[in-house]
Amino acid sequence: MLSILRITFPFFALVLCGFMATRRGLLPLAAIPGLNAFVLFFALPCMLYRFGARTPIGQLLDPVAGGVYLLCALPLVAGAVWGLRALHSSWNDAAFGALVAAMPNSGFMGVPLLVALLGAQAAGPVILSMLVDMVCTTSLCIALSRLGAHGTHGAAVALRQALRGMAANPMPWAIALGALASALQWQLPQPLEQTVAMLADAASPVALFSIGAVLARAQIHPHEHVRPLSYVPLALAKLFVHPLLVWIVGHVAQALGAPLTPQTLLALVLVAALPSASNVSLLAERFGAHTGRVAHVILVSTALAFLSFSAAVAWLVQRSTLSAT
């Protein structure tokens, strides 16, 4: 466990640094959008391109791994929507509550953390899970959020808006270009490769620092009172139910003879054990959903994940070692 904490601690420590810098005013709130823009449009796409170009195309386009991950996201979304609707939440609030419970922080945190823990072979499953979340889970939840609306603001319009937003997101394009480079065994010219490498190396520390800044901003900006019953179960579902679902469905798939390797399943389970994605709060704000609940889920899941994620890594790695012997 201590050896795992030595790897995970710096990642969560950088989140804490961003949180404290923002809370103490060292990082102005006005600077946070600039940090996010640097990560989203420059550093993270370069990192995803590099990992994609170095990953065998079969891992990036693994239909079994993608199917297992999606099959687990759907019941999690359905259960969260049902539970929040039972608490008299609107379709809009319930849909984004479900999204924050089902979407891990695989972009800003997952890729560098899991590669550090498991090696470069973990990049393929993590990137694949990001594609599933961006294309399927996010689009589904945005469409569900419009079920309570009428006319031109209905689910079909929301779904088209989600797809247009995905097309404007540089991350899927970076993954696609990386996959193409992998398939063609093509390399960038050396000066351009070095530029991409420098930006990619900046992605992890700036992204983690930015997560902390976003969490601090959510606390600084007052929200309406949020009952713990409406956000604590969502945070626990993200950290415990989601990885458990992936673990169960993955082992069932293996038992049925599906070509899902233990290494790929391990990476998928650990992706699901990550805290909630911080960009869900931006989507919730854009669509007028309950941002207070979403911010609380992200904050609680990120705080708890330092121990829960490290414990999941220790248990899964020990289990895989025992099964190998």
Whether the pLDDT of residue 151 is over 90: the answer is no
In this prediction, residue 160 has a pLDDT band, given cuts at 50, 70 and 90, of: low
Q: What is the dihedral of CA 249, 251, 257, 260, to 10 degrees?
A: 90
Cβ neighbourhood burial of 264 (10 Å; 0-12, 13-18, 19+): buried
Which of 9-18, 158-167, 207-216 shows the lowest mean pLDDT across its residues? 158-167
Which of 12-16, 93-97, 120-124 shows the lowest mean pLDDT across its residues? 120-124
Q: Which of 311, 265, 294, 295 is nearest to 121 (CA)?
A: 265
pLDDT at 259: 93
How many other CB atoms are found less than 10 A from the CB of residue 20? Answer: 14
Question: Which two structure tokens, joined as six digits, stand for 298?
Answer: 């992200």
Whether the pLDDT of residue 223 is over 70: the answer is no
Whether the pLDDT of residue 169 is over 90: the answer is no
pLDDT at 183: 85
Q: How far apart are CA 29 and CA 91, in angstroms?
A: 31
Number of domains in the chain: 1
Give me the CATH number covering residue 240: 1.20.1530.20
Whether the pLDDT of residue 199 is over 80: the answer is yes
Whether the pLDDT of residue 152 is over 60: the answer is no
Q: How far is residue 192 from each of residues 54, 69, 188, 196, measured CA to CA in Å?
A: 16, 34, 6, 6
Q: Identify the domain containing residue 313 by its residue range.
A: 2-324
In this prediction, residue 324 has a pLDDT band, given cuts at 50, 70 and 90, of: low
pLDDT at 57: 82
pLDDT, tens digit (0-9, with 9 covering 90-100), for 265-315? 999 999 999 999 988 887 887 788 878 888 889 989 999 999 999 999 988
Mean pLDDT of the chain: 86
Q: What share of the chain is helix, strand, coil (3-state, %, to 5)?
A: 85, 0, 15
pLDDT, tens digit (0-9, with 9 covering 90-100), for 132-146? 998 889 888 888 887
Whether the pLDDT of residue 243 is over 70: the answer is yes
Q: How far apart are CA 111 and CA 12, in angstroms?
A: 14
Q: What is the mean pLDDT of residues 96-118?
A: 91
pLDDT at 154: 58
